Chain A
Amino acid sequence: MKKCSFLKKYLTLIIVLGACVSCIKDTDFDQATPITLTPIMEVNFVEVQETSTSFLDASGTEKPFISDLIVLEVLSSDFIHDHLTKAELVFEVTNSLNKAFQIKMDFYDPADMLQHSFSIDIDNSPSHIPLVTEHTEVFEAMSLQALKASFKLGITITLVSSATGSVLTPDSEGNLALISKGILYLEYTQ
């Protein structure tokens, strides 16, 4: 009896030790490839809030256009340069002035060379109901390179005469609002 249990003990030990002999099965460690992440970031872009007085000079007469220049240092950053694969600028313009406009966006490089340009036509709102115009500018391939080369954005709002539009005065009802965001398609590999 004692001998038997003695054998059993050794047998158990051998079996257990055998189970300890480990191995790695059914795996392929060569498949490890760099992981590519493609997050999409939404970031705020420019906003414009203007009433009729913004478009009038000191004497109360309409200016042909108003403009501003925005520095977009972020576009020339290394991160954007290396990882941006596509971009969309999504604009939503709400006009309740009885005046048509053309909003022009000009992208300039640091040497003030024009890299990219587009414009959005805004209808006048005869009854001052907010009219919403949407525009999405997609930057891919050549235009993406142009965007990455850009440093400044010129915004020009040109007043456009139209059949039903009126001449703006300080008392003109309504306003012109532009909101926007950028959708940045990023890609980085680790």
Chain B
Amino acid sequence: MAIAESTMVVELEKILSPGQVLSGPAAQRAYDCDAYSVDRSKPMCIVLPESTEETAAVVKWCVANQVPFTGRGAGTGLSGGALPAKGGVVVSTKRMNQILEIDLPNRCLKAQAGIANKRLSDAVKEHGLHFAPDPSSQSVSTLGGNIAENAGGPHTLKYGVTAQHILGVTMVSPEGEIWELGGKVPGAPGFDFVSLIVGSEGTVGLVTEAWVKLTPLPAAVQTALIAFPTIRDATETVAEIIASGVIPAALEMMDRGILVALEAAFGLKYPEGTMALLLVECDKAPSAGGEHEIVAEEIAKVASICQSHNAIDVSIAQNEAERQKLWHARKKGVGAMGRLAPSIVTHDGVIPRSKLPEMLDFVYEVAAKHGVNVANLFHAGDGNLHPCFYFDDRDPKQVEAVVEAGEEIVRRCVELGGSVTGEHGVGVEKQDLLPLMFTSEDLRFQAMAKQIFNDGELCNPCKVLPTDKSCVEHKKRWRGAAW
């Protein structure tokens, strides 16, 4: 890449328009990382195409000039997937934010990649439908970003992650060709490329439009917040609920550290002696009838299991306002953590849920061993941990302890049959951890899959697979999203 920044801007402005190309120090600073802000790399310029065709034209220009390019949605990613590792061009989907077609009879919708997740559900809510994946960032995170990261959310326990809701994509290949894969009718014969593209972290091309599946809004919902006197009681309850045959829509857990933060920040109080809370939501899609009775039975069964595990309080929401209040503990937990320390690092590991009791014990042991503070707020039903270390990053010893503790926890997740990441992705953050899960043959296997789409080094380089050609000088101060 020998092209000068000024030349690049002029040429890209010819392809797009002057208002669609950003450059200069301020723009470069704004786009040098996503929400994983530990590692940074400046792009030479940022383009804002408004269509698939404009995106393809930009990519063709990049290929012709051997300029790396990296796609970016809202920049809420937590592993550096949108970091322009080798500089070059950031292709922002910010201006591709339109719903192109709503097909209610076929319960699907086609939208551009830059639309915020929540807008999809808002657009069809009056028709009793929604787009089920609901990452915490859904008010800003984009459809394209959700596809790239295979985003999850609290309700993925029952409804599945993004991959299960994408019917087809329009994308720009790493060479600048426009591809359409999948469509309104799922399951067509042939290799399932759409399933491979979802979750590929923007390394196999740039998704510009997608057909998404619309799911009926539940006809009945019940939510319970259950307080436990010990962490063990709560974690052992999780696996038993699932083993009983009840699959809640959401099954989230918050520990004492989160409750302390919530009380400090918002004055929320919970029963005395509470060491852990489980938030359980059961729902039922519209059917021939009896939805409310079925959900009531499920929540009663959940309550019974909780009580057999020494629950000290079971609160069941009686209306929507009470439901929202119970969700406060979950939704405001991370924000409340800001009261506890200047810096927070949230990890993302996943284990089989039956291992939650021993894993949580391990998390607290590791934190105690390293003398660091930890709180836990996570998707317990999926076994998806988010240990939050809170500390003062001005103290090098604390930083070192947090790094070491985090590494131990992630390693333990893998030892227990889990994964180094449940929903945040690999990006640049966890490339060097993939060998914990996969042999060199396994990684070559993955590289072969990537090669089907991308045999070069221009499309979002230096992501996902570890490479000898290290192009991001990973600072490794800490892992996880940091505030």
Is B truly associated with A? no
Q: Which residues of B come within 8 Å of A, CB atoms?
A: none
